[in-house]
Chain A
């Protein structure tokens, strides 16, 4: 008979737990210091300029926001698609989704030219702007997932979990579509102007979100001495491999489509062939280290069963995802706008792809520190929440989560 699953707060009170909190807090404080420095002086102290208007903070922010919706997937698989194996993981999944979104939004807001005008962004809406829609999608996501978590954690509300989970699932699809469309709707930018951006971002969210979820799950169970069985872990890592492969497929279709359009061959050549740092980051960082290598590790018959290998594959997918965002966001802006096709262009404002010069951008330390602080905010929220509320099952060993599977294995 299947054992009942008990959820329990993290009971650790040692230096390990408080050391982790202190470390995350320190990273956040450093990031806030960097933000104050950038906002006090103005953006001239960053690497951003009038050509590369979105820099490293946007890479982190968009990555975290995309990963947030993906982190909710595990809960959706349980609640919406009724896979019992994943149900015990649903609370952590929802928590991580909220935390990652909070971290990403913090970075996004703190990089505004006028972060002090956040209230303006919340009171003035241009409903034709996908950005304005995203503000609603993000806040709505937070609210819906909080209700979803409530239905999971409060026994009396358990009956509503499926409904809440279904709404959250639909909402997260809308959210990532919105995030992808921020880029997909930019008709004048050859690197972005494509409807496939939205579904590609959804697939990317599956991969990034699950990679972060896996790492957090493994770390949490290791540091709290709780059992995490092979059954659930191997299910998750196989899923991660499939998601990472799906990202590759979408990237392939995106670039093939662009290559077919003669007008877009310039930007494709830039990213894939002679874009210098962006070409290297694309092939080595994103494709090789961020996708092919972790996919091979996860599906390898022996390596794929090693917990260290699964953790490293997750880390590679996260780093590869950040690199992919860097190539999309910064590489896409580095390729100059093509105002005069067929012409060599020279100006005092860095015009023209035909000049052969990509717009230059060197990430600055404060930008990077702000981005890292976003990750720390997300992790700190998770670390505190699992201590005060019952998010984690006491045990996820094979006999608890799926006695049939463990029996079959014996």
Chain B
């Protein structure tokens, strides 16, 4: 009964089967040197986009690395790119400035001691242990097996406890009825929403996907974003993180976020 209603539990089944299979393959590889190619085969499989009818799996962990040194202080191309892609930012006509949704925002930092200034985009950090998912009474706030944290708009009751729990203020409540929504991002009065990591693009293109914020940044020539699979050691994001490292915002909370920063 419980499992039936829990998206996480529901989706974890393929993962368990997969790991059992891999363990079996791993064991066989130890016994038969000839099968040693199996892990390599597996890696090239996950790098490709999955078919639409295949469940997402924890073989992937989608994330982004943002180089703040490449992020221009006056530039908000990523924010505009997200707005265009997901249809927010202009259709909340009644809400006050403090009430309108912001899936991604630009934040300017200045070190109190040194005066060093940094500019960075901030959005849902797609935590491995998301507090919003823990507190959600109905399970509307959920984390996919591939690490993307989403809100199921059909069972969100608008209690806003996830907004209380989110350390990044990444979520917005919709304070009025909305018109002109986009098919890729259904939104609704009285429910909570946040960055989806452009899940519709990820589901379509897999590792080759480029979220709208990253695309907009690239078209401005800044190229501050790197999107990719944190679980794939061959991916560009993993390689860059291995080489240069990356920072998690509020790493002290132990949430193991999927959005990493360089230069802060």
Residues of A within 8 A of B98 (CB): 49-51, 350, 359-360
- Closest CB of chain A to B211's CB: distance in Å? 19
When C-beta atoms are compared, the residue in chain A nearest to B170 turns out to be: A349
B190 within 8 A of A: yes
Which residues of chain A in 33-72 are interfacial with respect to chain B, using CB atoms and an 8 Å cutoff? 39, 41-44, 48-51, 53-54
Complex interface bits, B160-197 against A, C-beta within 8 A gives 1, otherwise 0: 11011111110111111100000000000111100000
When C-beta atoms are compared, the residue in chain B nearest to A46 turns out to be: B175
**Binding stretch for chain A, among B35-43, B151-159, B235-243:** B151-159
When C-beta atoms are compared, the residue in chain A nearest to B177 turns out to be: A42
- Is the pair B105, A125 in contact by a Cβ cutoff of 8 Å? no
A121 within 8 A of B: yes
Contact residue among A43, A112, A124, A130 (Cβ-Cβ distance under 8 Å from B135): A130
Given contacts A135-B137, A339-B167, A187 and B190 within 8 Å (CB-CB): no
- Is the pair B99, A125 in contact by a Cβ cutoff of 8 Å? no
Contact residue among A43, A115, A345 (Cβ-Cβ distance under 8 Å from B108): A345
A186 within 8 A of B: yes
- Is the pair B164, A186 in contact by a Cβ cutoff of 8 Å? yes
- Is the pair A347, B158 in contact by a Cβ cutoff of 8 Å? no
Contact residue among A39, A44, A185 (Cβ-Cβ distance under 8 Å from B99): A44
Given contacts A42-B189, A117-B157, A126-B138, A347 and B112 within 8 Å (CB-CB): no
- Is the pair A113, B161 in contact by a Cβ cutoff of 8 Å? no
Given contacts A337-B169, A339-B249, A120 and B108 within 8 Å (CB-CB): no
- Closest CB of chain A to B51's CB: distance in Å? 29
- Is the pair A346, B158 in contact by a Cβ cutoff of 8 Å? no
Contact residue among B94, B109, B136 (Cβ-Cβ distance under 8 Å from A126): B136
Q: Is the interface of A mostly helix, strand, loop or mixed?
A: loop
Residues of A within 8 A of B134 (CB): 128-129
Residues of B within 8 A of A118 (CB): 157
When C-beta atoms are compared, the residue in chain B nearest to A350 turns out to be: B98
B131 within 8 A of A: yes
Given contacts A44-B99, A188-B131, A339-B168, A125 and B137 within 8 Å (CB-CB): yes
B95 within 8 A of A: yes
A120 to B158, CA, bound (A): 11
- Is the pair B5, A351 in contact by a Cβ cutoff of 8 Å? no
- Closest CB of chain A to B71's CB: distance in Å? 13
Given contacts A126-B6, A126-B139, A339-B250, A113 and B174 within 8 Å (CB-CB): yes
A44 to B161, CA, bound (A): 18
- Is the pair A124, B108 in contact by a Cβ cutoff of 8 Å? no
A350 to B192, CA, bound (A): 18
Residues of A within 8 A of B32 (CB): none
Residues of B within 8 A of A339 (CB): 107, 122, 167-169, 249-250
- Closest CB of chain B to A103's CB: distance in Å? 18
- Is the pair A346, B191 in contact by a Cβ cutoff of 8 Å? no
Which residues of chain A in 114-153 are interfacial with respect to chain B, using CB atoms and an 8 Å cutoff? 114-115, 117-118, 120-121, 123-132, 134-135
B113 within 8 A of A: yes
A188 to B170, CA, bound (A): 13
Which residues of chain B in 1-41 are interfacial with respect to chain A, using CB atoms and an 8 Å cutoff? 2, 5-6
When C-beta atoms are compared, the residue in chain A nearest to B76 turns out to be: A348
Residues of A within 8 A of B136 (CB): 126, 129, 131
Residues of B within 8 A of A54 (CB): 160, 164
B110 within 8 A of A: yes
A333 within 8 A of B: yes
- Is the pair B190, A188 in contact by a Cβ cutoff of 8 Å? no
Which residues of chain A in 5-37 are interfacial with respect to chain B, using CB atoms and an 8 Å cutoff? none
Given contacts A113-B156, A342-B113, A347-B122, A126 and B137 within 8 Å (CB-CB): yes
When C-beta atoms are compared, the residue in chain A nearest to B113 turns out to be: A342
- Closest CB of chain B to A91's CB: distance in Å? 33
Residues of B within 8 A of A349 (CB): 102, 105, 169
- Closest CB of chain B to A40's CB: distance in Å? 9
A340 within 8 A of B: yes
Given contacts A345-B109, A351-B169, A113 and B5 within 8 Å (CB-CB): no
Contact residue among B107, B164, B177, B192 (Cβ-Cβ distance under 8 Å from A347): B107
A-B contact pairs, 9 of them (CB 8 A): A113-B157, A125-B2, A126-B133, A126-B139, A128-B134, A333-B164, A342-B111, A348-B106, A352-B107
Other 6 A-B pairs with CB < 8 A, given A112-B158, A343-B110: A43-B190, A51-B169, A113-B159, A126-B133, A346-B107, A349-B105
**Closest A-B pairs by Cβ, 6 of them:** A113-B158, A113-B190, A188-B167, A49-B98, A44-B175, A42-B176
A interface residues (Cβ-Cβ under 8 A, vs B): 39, 41-44, 48-51, 53-54, 112-115, 117-118, 120-121, 123-132, 134-135, 182, 185-189, 333, 337, 339-340, 342-352, 354, 359-360
B interface residues (Cβ-Cβ under 8 A, vs A): 2, 5-6, 79, 92, 94-96, 98-102, 105-113, 118, 122, 131, 133-140, 155-161, 163-169, 171-177, 189-192, 249-250, 253, 264
